[in-house]
Structure 1
Amino acid sequence: MDTTIGTKPEAKTENQRLREEILARLSELGGQRVKDDALIFEGTKFVLPANMEGRVDDAIEYLEDWKEAQEEDYAYSREFRYRPWDGAAAFDRAMKRLFGTTGLGARTVSFFGSRPPEYRTIDVAHGQTTQVPWGKVAFKPLSATFELGVSMHDDFGLVFALSVNAPKKYRTHIEAFFAVVEDELTTGSIYKGRAITAADTPQFINTSTVDPSRVVYSDDVMTQLNANVWSVLRYADTMRQIGLPLKRQVLLYGPYGTGKSLAGMLTAQEAERHGWTYIQVRPGDDLGNALRTAQIYAPAVVMFEDVDQINTDSTQGVAQLLDILDGVTNKGVEVMALFTTNHEDRLHRGMMRPGRLDAVIELAGLDAGGTKRLVEAVVPAHLRSTSMDWDAVAQAFDGLLPAFAKEAIDRAQRYAIARSGGVPQVIEARDLVDAAAGIRQQVKMMEDAPLATNKDSLGAALTRTVSSALQGHHVDHFGDALRIVPSTNGIPA
């Protein structure tokens, strides 16, 4: 006897099963964020409003209208306060996190139709790239079209914008997806806590090119750098607990070859090690964009290099620059600013007080301790004399800038190799003394040479930096500071 009372349902395909899981998960996440008060799904009974008693047909008509409305396309959008490529990378990770191994544009699963999304290659670390979707991305499970683009934010400049066209019934799912993208940006930003440039599209800086053990300063300079710069990065939580401000504005000055740029690279290493974003600003870079990026990815260190190399006719540059920085930090943003210059004499004395420049550190010649550490860093231990006359070495190197001292040590090793006919020899104190004496003439030539830079004041140079930042921007005044907003962008549409 045939006992079949119905048709056996067909087994669900893998795509159908996966699609249902995706929608259920997104619905659960989104339901915690979005409520439609007109219709509530709750309990196990159908409950109608009291005023519809005896009017079941009206209730049915309402439900049919409601159902029809759910199929209508609605536009949803969200602006994320992160740089555009950061947002695109987060979108890519969010898709993979929610939808497993389907992959964007994978034709085998067909979630995205027959046409995969457009991809752009972006940097995600120094020497590392990935491809991320850009523009329109059709997503079949939600009958949606995502569009990845940019938006101009008043305070932060170009930021990532994500817009979606999808039926109203998927509103909770879309809101859930927005939340996942935000979480990916918060926890996995490609720029936060990294060393980057101040360009519109940040590039990553390779901080591994500098070996800290081979960078040597005098004892006093090391003390000043540790206290005024690196300790803030290392012990930020402790300083927050006791109320010490993380905002610092520090000037590094000294002649060529004293290691100002190296100090910046060491700071970049410390920043990456302790979760700070390091932003390098060189002459010609967009100052306003650098500070906006610092706000987004704070806590941050912004390194302004060689400000004296930029020309201007104005004399208000220092005040303007520091006012802009004050405008950023007064909002509670944790930003440290480092400046370097070869010409401290061009700095207006009014800028020397704490609160404007909190610390001024001179990077000059090596002292006895620094000279010894440099020799030990450069010359292998087995090639150093065990009876080295360090006092004689210190006297010979007295006043030499680190770059010249390093060259003198290298020369000493060449002297020893030449003396032995090409065989590495132990370096004696006399080799170092002779090498230091031999380089003094070159030092004198550098000191006597005319400056290749212009003769503007440092304040004027800083103003030119500000002026450069203002090109193609409009300026809003708020309090005593300036808000610089770019009018163009470098991110492709």
Structure 2
Amino acid sequence: MNSMSPVKTDWSTVDTQVRHDGKEIVLPGDPTRMGYDDAIRTIQRIKEQEEQVFDVTETVAGPAWDAIVALNRAMQDIYGVVLAQSRMTFFGEIKPDLLTVITGPHVADRVQVPVGQMSLPNVSAPVIVGLFGGGAYIKGEVRRKDRTILIEIANRARQFMREASIYRGRAISLLVDDDGDISLSQQPEFMDLAGVTESQMIHTAETEALIRTNILSPLRNTAACRKHKIPLKRGILLEGRYGTGKTLTARVTAKVAIDNGWTFVMLNRSQGLKAAIEFAKAYQPCVIFAEDIDRAADREDEEVNDLVNMLDGLITKDMEMMVVLTTNFIDKIDRALLRPGRFDAVISIQPPDAATAVRVIKAYAGNLLPEDTDLTGVADLVAGQIPAMIREVVERAKLAMLSESRASLSAEDLYVSALGMKRHQELLEPKENEPTARDRLADGLIDIIREAFGEVDVSTDDLSGQLKRLDDRVRGSFRKQAEDLSTVKNIAAAGAESSKKGLDKTEQVLRAVNEV
């Protein structure tokens, strides 16, 4: 048999890797042994590839202010020192910016973050760090062998976003613009919850039980909810007249949330709910609190459809997100928003009853009121009033105490103050048979109608019948005017036809005369 010569491998087409390990140079032997010349050419080719310059961009997704802080922390964590520097362009020198990022509710809670061109140790070319609408980025023209450096920085920044975010587990307030988007021109504000305690939230016993069960319990018992597969995706509606304590309930909820590892997001406008949900996805478990939802829940406003879809679609069952909405006018809320499935609970917050009023008085009076003071008479007077009104009663009673140089409040101080407040309120209420603003408006409209169409009978309560008769009179008036116009048009047309016949007859007479 003829022996076959060994097949020669074209090593320029084989993706050979170079690995630094030990003190030996190991050459491939598969599929055939690599010769020295092939090894030299392969190493030279790999060297050239590693020196190739690439445009590399890595992004860190999330709220821009949080992402840029995380990116700078990552660079400092890896390299220790990061130097910002100017860069020259066709338009001249561009200097780096130094951004001040708010990290807490106090004046000292600030960090300064450089943005622009940076120089990193052991990296041949500078990189550029900046912000965009969806987060922060790091980019640069780097050699292939350095490209993993940017990936390492971005990955470390993403880790900081998960574990050491400036917003996660904090209480913040977001500003919403007219388009319903979160205002990116202003940083979120941190809520100062120092001194906030659950005891400050005073409602009737039934209301407090509902709030603790539906809002505070999931915050405190998150791990147990997960264990028992109780969904942490919840929608709650707080309804009640203005001044009954919904905003204070929000602050107490915020305090309980951050004490138990939840993020709390307060919206200044409910129209920003969609943007807030997208924002909060990165900070679960999270509570979103939006006041006066009735401003968006109007069927004449298409935003209500978006709101319904958000509650049903954007927040999925596996999310750990609680949305708490408030309204002063529940009658304005579309019933589609109130049915089971949209909200897990609708909680009515009503003005204090007598028993609750006693607690409110004691809370505002503090240690100025002896513990054994009988407040029965005062509580009966202020029952049904909003807490702000009860607080004013206590403040006026304190003035009476000071005027007599006493060191404590008495039941009489509070009773006299409450009685004066009640009389003050009675003066503000419309007197019996006194026309309201609506009555005056109706009278004005009737006068206008009488002036335009004559006397209108308003002595009965048959409003629909009167409106129909008025509608008939208005329509009849327009019909008569239209008929009059039609008559004039017909007369004009008849006159024109008669004139035409007369001209024709005249022309015939003239032709006869000419012939003669």
TM-score by length of 1: 0.73
Separation in 1, partners of 2:67, 2:402: 56
Deviation (angstroms), 1:396: 2.3
Pair member with larger Rg: 2
Is 2:55 aligned against 1:79? no
Separation in 1, partners of 2:85, 2:115: 15
Is 2:114 aligned against 1:133? yes
Are 2:61 and 2:135, in contact at CA under 8 Å, matched by a contact in 1? yes
2:142 aligned partner = 166
Over 3 Å counting, the alpha-carbon distance change for 1:62 and 1:436 in structure 2 is same
Are 1:251 and 1:357, in contact at CA under 8 Å, matched by a contact in 2? yes
- Please show how residues 366-377 of structure 1 align to structure 2 within 5 Å: 366-377=352-363
Over 3 Å counting, the alpha-carbon distance change for 1:333 and 1:411 in structure 2 is same
Instruction: Give CA-to-partner distance per residue, 1:132-187, whole Å, 9 cap, x none.
Output: 122332324212433323456xxxxx222332432111233333222222222221
Over 3 Å counting, the alpha-carbon distance change for 1:313 and 1:214 in structure 2 is closer
Instruction: Give CA-to-partner distance per residue, 1:48-96, whole Å, 9 cap, x none.
Output: 2224526211111110111122122223333323211111111222222
- Please show how residues 301-450 of structure 1 align to structure 2 within 5 Å: 301-309=287-295, 314=300, 317-330=303-316, 332-381=318-367, 383-418=368-403, 420=404, 423-443=405-425
Separation in 1, partners of 2:183, 2:125: 30
1:299 aligned partner = 285
Separation in 2, partners of 1:65, 1:159: 38
Separation in 2, partners of 1:355, 1:442: 45
Structure 2 letter corresponding to 1:63: I
Separation in 2, partners of 1:447, 1:334: 47
Separation in 2, partners of 1:392, 1:189: 53
Separation in 2, partners of 1:194, 1:433: 43
Is 2:190 aligned against 1:205? yes
Which residue, out of 97, 102, 123, partners 1:123? 102
Are 2:234 and 2:321, in contact at CA under 8 Å, matched by a contact in 1? yes
Over 3 Å counting, the alpha-carbon distance change for 1:216 and 1:172 in structure 2 is same
Query: Greater relative contact order (Cα 8 A, min sep 6): structure 1 or 2?
Result: 1
Deviation (angstroms), 1:299: 1.5
Paired-residue identity, %: 28
1:180 aligned partner = 156
- The alignment of Structure 1 onto Structure 2 pairs a total of residues equal to 400
Are 2:286 and 2:322, in contact at CA under 8 Å, matched by a contact in 1? yes
Over 3 Å counting, the alpha-carbon distance change for 1:54 and 1:194 in structure 2 is closer
After TM superposition, the structure 1 stretch with the greater mean CA deviation from structure 2, 123-132 or 388-397, is 388-397
After TM superposition, the structure 1 stretch with the greater mean CA deviation from structure 2, 188-197 or 137-146, is 137-146
* 1:161 partner SS: strand
Separation in 1, partners of 2:423, 2:16: 85
Deviation (angstroms), 1:343: 0.6
5+ residue gaps, structure 2: 1-14, 87-92, 175-181, 431-435, 439-516
- Please show how residues 12-31 of structure 1 align to structure 2 within 5 Å: none
Separation in 1, partners of 2:114, 2:249: 38
Q: Which of the two has greater helix per residue?
A: 2
Deviation (angstroms), 1:306: 1.4
1:58 aligned partner = 38
Are 1:74 and 1:165, in contact at CA under 8 Å, matched by a contact in 2? yes
Deviation (angstroms), 1:416: 2.3
For the aligned residue pairs, the C-alpha RMSD in angstroms reads 3.0
Separation in 2, partners of 1:338, 1:187: 26
Deviation (angstroms), 1:337: 0.8
Structure 2 letter corresponding to 1:96: Q
Structure 2 letter corresponding to 1:76: V
Are 1:194 and 1:204, in contact at CA under 8 Å, matched by a contact in 2? no
Deviation (angstroms), 1:115: 9.8
5+ residue gaps, structure 1: 1-35, 108-113, 153-157, 452-493
Instruction: Give CA-to-partner distance per residue, 1:392-441, whole Å, 9 cap, x none.
Output: 333222212111111112122222223x1xx2342222222222222224
Are 2:290 and 2:325, in contact at CA under 8 Å, matched by a contact in 1? yes
Are 2:59 and 2:154, in contact at CA under 8 Å, matched by a contact in 1? no
2:126 aligned partner = 145
Which residue, out of 78, 84, 89, partners 1:98? 78
